[in-house]
Every structure is written in C-alpha cells, then in structure tokens.
Chain A
C-alpha cells in the first residue's frame, strides 16, 4: 500500500491512472461479489421452494390430524406414528405391504423385459445393416413422439380379448417387446459412441454375434443399462393410469392405486394416514435415486428425457 502511494507521489500522471484502475478493479470485484451473492440467494430460495413441500410432507406425516392444517412448520408439536400404524393397516383386508409387493411384482419383470429387449434391439440398430433400417429407426423416433392416448383404447380392447384384464400382463408384455422407444433410442445413441474394435476382435477370434453381444457389448453398455433400469423402475413405480385401467381387484393393486383408494375412503378426517402412506410411497424412488443419481443425470444428459 505505502509503496504504491509513495510511487504515486513520484510519478503523478501514472499514479492517477493507477488509482483509477484500482478503483475500477475494486468496483469489478464488488460487483462480482454482489452478483455471486444474488445467485446464491436465488439458488437457495429456489432450493427451499423445491424441497420444502417434501420436508413438510415428512413432518406432517408425524403430526396429529388436528395439527396438519394448523401448523405451517414441519416439526410436529406432538409427534405420533399413528398415521403410519393405521395407514399401514388400510381400510381393505390387506396391509400396505401387500400393495408394495404388488408394485414390485409389476416392476421387476417389466424392468428385466425392458433391459433384455431394448439391448437386443439397440444392438441390431447400432451394429448391423439391413433393409428398411432407416424406416425402422424412424419408427423409433415416431413412437417416442406418439401420444399414448391414441393407442390406449385399442390396446385395452386387445388385452380384454386376450383375457389379460385384471392381471399384470398388460403392464409387462409391451415393455418386453421393446415398447419403450425412449430406452431403445438412448441405448442406440450410447452404442454408437462406443467403437466396434473389441467386437471386431471377438469376431476374429470366432465369437458369434450373440456371444459378442453378451460378453463384449453388454459389459460396455452397463452404465447405460443401469440408467435404463433405474428410469423404468421410477416410471413404473409412479405409473397410475396403466394400473387404473387394467387392474380392478384390490388384492392386485400397486401402491399408486392403493393410495388413491385410501384418499377415497378416509380422506374426510384421517389426513395423517394418507400423508404417512404418501411418504412410504415415494421412499423407494428416493432411495434408488440417492444411491444412483450419477446414472440418472448421465442418462438424462446422454439421451435427453421426458419427465
């Protein structure tokens, strides 16, 4: 500091410029600090808006029914697990555990079918030439954009004629035929980015295309396949309209339908039961997300996604 002011005594003209530059510099630093602060305030504010409803939900699920509509804070004044105990029992002959079991009975075969069929199809698209390839790949994009609403009624009629209503088959089978075009698209994009050298080497060593797929391509595809399974898990867990249309007996209800049922039967007074079961309903998705969020973000950024 003193050095500079001393120097400025000596070289006046230069010092003026220097002082000006320093002032400008200080202003810049201050502005940068202010805009950084504004950014953090916005991000924290938005983050709070995003997460507070969820935090409130968890807190409210431990509140008494009287407190839910009286206390905007999330800490319960008289914590109670009544909502969980009673909510778990449900007003049906089954506990909520049964509905979770049903959800997983829908999800697991569906995820496996999706992973196998989409890998095969993506491998076919990315590594082989065949007639009508362009047209067929165009159809993947078309399905991606096709609103389900237009095929839903005939699909329902088809499954009715097959005698599949009120079973999990309508929820499993289309996925096992690579019906979720988004995943095919994502895997094709991923495969195209992997050079075929390893597969070529395996082929020279006498592996057939099926062995190449299983032992070379699938391990390389693993990160993308994990993304596929996670997204399918999440979407199926959240799916409501599918089960609503196809499942009619309560003993086959997945959690999404069971939750809707509990609103219809108990909402007038037993709010904490419903909130408690809502918390349980989103818990599997949250756990999976936090264990594997890297794959979600990568899957999203790689293929782009709905959601």
Chain B
C-alpha cells in the first residue's frame, strides 16, 4: 500500500513540477512585482502601493479600459449563452439533418480563435465591407463600424457570439439527457411549451448553464486577439480591453511592475465574480440526485 501511494505521486511528478514552476511561483511573483517598479533594466524596486494608487486615482486610460472591459463581458457572455441555448433548444427537437446543423454551427468555434478570422472580421465590417454592402443593397444605411466608438466594441462581441458552437454542444448534450416523461406529464396537466421550458428545462440544465457561464466569463475577461487585430483598441480606446493594456504596458513599454498591478486587478475582478457565481450557485443550480460531477 505504501508503495502504491508513492507510485501515485510518482505519476503526478510532471504535474507537480509544472504546478510549482509555471503556475504557483509565477503567481506569487506577479503579486510581488505589482508592488514594484521594474523596467527590465535594473532590479525590481519596491514602491509599495504606488502602482495601485496610480491606477485608481490618476490613470484615465485604466478607468476607460476597465469600463470597456466590463461592458464587453456583460454584453458578450449573456448574448452568447442565450443564443447558444436558443439554438440548442431548437436542435433538440427531432429534426432531420441535425448532424449537419450541429457541424455547421460548430465550425466557427473551431476557427474563431484564429488570427485569420479576426482578419476576416476586419474585411467584413470595413466601411465598404461585406456587411455594409449587404445593408445598402437591402436599402439600409451603411454603418460606420470601426470609426464610431459606439459600434467598434460590438464587432468583437459579434465575433465571439459567432463562436457560440461549443457552448451550444454542451447545452444540447444536457437537453438530450432530460427525461422526456417529465414533459409528457406536464403536458397532460395542461402546461404550455413556455411553462415547460421555464419550469422543467431551465432548472434541469442549471449545472451546464453555470459551467458555461463561468468558462465564458473567464475567457471573455481575457479577450486579446479581437481588439489587437480587429480594432487595435480604437477608436478613442473604445475597444482597449484590459488584456491589451497589460500587453502594451508589459511588452511594449516594458513596465513590468505596472502591468502586473493591472493584471492583478483583472484577476481579482474575475475571482470575485467567479466566487460570487459559486456562492450563489447553491441557490439556483440544481443537481439531480448524485449526479454532482
């Protein structure tokens, strides 16, 4: 038995080394760096809370970037999840070609993270791009997508919503596992489709809603490719999301201490929201029987 114990840890060796070297030590180091002034030339110099006071009292770029990030996350995540659930719900009816549709809807998720798609987005939403060509041919006015601070962020939201496929596949798997007899019983009792959806479907899939919510939120807060390639953070910093600000501070201006402080603010926001979601999940997530996974 003791030999077996040692063996188990033996198989974990790569993970434990990786955990220490590539995650835990860097994690601590970035907290330390966030209290220093470090430009790679000389050793880090301890400056206490200076980076943070600078961030919260003087740095208008940071305030702008934080606001834009929160707007982005709180529009993109609900839109994407609602859309994914809606399509999964339709696909869950016994339809022909379901495999074809599932594939067609999933392809954008496979490609969406690629730079090529971000490039494509630039062309589609350019002032004379595909979207405006279609809009004008339908008699609408062309929209100034990248020039107008009101619209630019929305193009990135649309890109990420276009990638709803993976959330949809997870929703669909959950919907397919719901016991059909529940619906039959409800129908006999005279419940409408809408009632069934709200009182049977939604409660039973709360675990996957919760899972998708957390994953998509953590991911949305780290959006980098979209603003970097599609809008370059502009116009007027209206798409200058925090990860891009961190990148610029760290790898363009080499202000590692300040960049670490921004990263920690971002991390704390994500952590607080994740913990809030976990804490509130006790009230709204329903785990059937022992299926707590």
Interface residues of A (CB under 8 A from B): 36, 39-40, 42-43, 46-47, 50-51, 53-54, 56-57, 60, 68-72, 117, 120-121, 123-125, 127-131, 133, 136, 139-140, 143, 145-158, 174, 176-179, 184, 189, 209, 234-235, 237-241, 245, 256, 259-260, 263, 271, 274-275, 277-279, 281-282, 285-286, 289, 293, 296-297, 300-301, 304-307
Of the candidates A71, A179, A238, which one forms a contact with B115 in the assembled complex, judged by CB atoms under 8 Å apart? A238
- Asked if B8 and A120 make an inter-chain contact with CB atoms under 8 angstroms apart, the answer reads no
Chain A CB within 8 A of B90 CB: yes
Interface status of B144 (Cβ within 8 A of chain A): no
A139 lies within 8 A of B116 (CB): no
Per the bound structure, the CA–CA distance linking A293 and B99 in Å amounts to 11
Interface residues contributed by chain B, number (CB under 8 Å): 92
Cα–Cα, bound, A263→B6 (Å): 53
Q: Kindly provide the distance from the CB of B69 to the nearest chain A CB, expressed in whole angstroms.
A: 11
Does B140 reach chain A (CB closer than 8 Å)? no
| Residue numbers in B under 8 Å from A263 (CB-CB) | 119, 229
Closest Cβ–Cβ distance, residue A112 to chain B (whole Å): 13
Contacts of B274 in A (CB 8 A): 145
Check if B107 sits within 8 Å of A54, measured CB to CB: yes
Beyond A47-B104, A154-B30, A282-B111, whether A130 also contacts B93 by CB under 8 A is no
Return chain A residues, CB-CB under 8 Å to B246.
149
| Closest A residue, CB atoms, query B124 | A53
A53-B130, A149-B266, A153-B250 in contact; A123/B11 too (CB < 8 A)? yes
Q: A153-B260, A177-B14, A278-B119 are in contact. List 11 more A-B contacts (CB 8 A).
A: A68-B123, A145-B274, A146-B27, A147-B222, A153-B250, A154-B27, A235-B113, A240-B228, A300-B166, A300-B169, A305-B215
Q: In the complex, how many angstroms separate the beta carbon of A179 from the nearest chain B beta carbon? A: 5
B113 touches A238 (CB 8 A): yes
From B169, B247, B251, give the contact of A297 (CB < 8 A). Answer: B169
- Check B263–A42 contact: CB distance below 8 A: no
Q: Can you name 18 A-B pairs with beta carbons within 8 Å?
A: A36-B95, A47-B104, A50-B105, A50-B162, A69-B128, A70-B128, A124-B10, A146-B27, A150-B263, A151-B27, A152-B263, A158-B22, A240-B224, A281-B114, A286-B110, A286-B111, A296-B106, A305-B170
Residue of B nearest to A150 (CB): B267
User: Which residues of the other chain, B, contact A50 by a CB distance below 8 angstroms?
Assistant: 104-105, 107-108, 162
Contacts of B133 in A (CB 8 A): 69-72
Report which B residues bind A (CB closer than 8 A): 4-12, 14-19, 21-23, 25-27, 29-30, 33, 87, 90-91, 93, 95, 101-117, 119-120, 123-124, 126, 128-130, 133-134, 137, 162-163, 165-166, 169-170, 173, 208, 211-212, 214-215, 218-219, 221-222, 224-225, 228-229, 243, 246-247, 250-251, 256, 259-260, 263-264, 266-267, 270, 274, 293
Partner of A121, one of B15, B26, B137, B270: B15
A25–B30 Cα gap in the complex (Å)? Answer: 68
**A128/B18 in contact, CB under 8 A:** no
Q: Cβ of A43 and Cβ of B26 under 8 Å apart?
A: no
Say how far B224's CB is from chain A's closest CB, in angstroms: 6
Report the Cα distance A145→B93, complex, angstroms. Answer: 33
Q: Would B110 and A289 count as touching, CB distance under 8 A? A: yes
3 interchain residue pairs of minimum CB distance: A128-B8, A177-B18, A124-B11
* Chain B residues in 8 Å Cβ range of A72: 130, 133-134, 137
Q: Majority SS of interface residues in chain A? A: helix
Residue pair B250, A285 in contact (C-beta under 8 Å): no
Contact (A43, B101) CB under 8 Å given A129-B5, A130-B9, A235-B113 = yes
| B residues in contact with A282, CB < 8 Å | 111, 114, 116-117
CA distance A145 to B8 in the complex (A): 24
CA distance A300 to B102 in the complex (A): 13
Q: Cβ of B106: which chain A residues have Cβ within 8 Å of it?
A: 293, 296-297
Interface contact B108-A145, CB-CB below 8 Å = no
Cβ contact within 8 Å between A121 and B111: no
A296 CA to B208 CA in the complex, in Å? Answer: 18
A158 to B30, CA, bound (A): 12
Task: Report the minimal beta-carbon distance from B138 to chain A, rounded to whole angstroms.
Answer: 10
CB distance from A307 to the nearest CB of B (A): 4
In the assembled complex, which residues on chain B have CB atoms less than 8 Å from the CB atom of A176?
Answer: 14
Q: Known: A47-B104, A256-B114, A282-B111. Contact between A149 and B26, CB under 8 A?
A: no
Contact B26 A117 (CB under 8 A): no
Return chain B residues, CB-CB under 8 Å to A124: 7-12, 15
Asked if B218 and A238 sit within 8 Å, CB to CB, the answer is no
Query: What's the nearest-Cβ distance from chain B to residue A178, in Å?
Result: 4
User: B135: shortest Cβ distance to chain A, in Å?
Assistant: 10
Residue of A nearest to B114 (CB): A238
Contacts A177-B14, A301-B170, A306-B219 given; indicate if A139 touches B19 (C-beta within 8 A).
Answer: yes
Contacts of B128 in A (CB 8 A): 69-70
| A143-B23, A154-B30, A179-B22 given; A274·B119 CB < 8 A | yes
A303 to B195, CA, bound (A): 30
- The CB with the most chain B CB atoms within 10 A, among A71, A281, A297, is that of A297
Q: Determine whether the beta carbon of A69 is less than 8 Å from that of B129.
A: yes
A177, B9: Cα distance in complex, Å: 14
- Nearest Cβ in chain A — how far from B175, in angstroms? 11
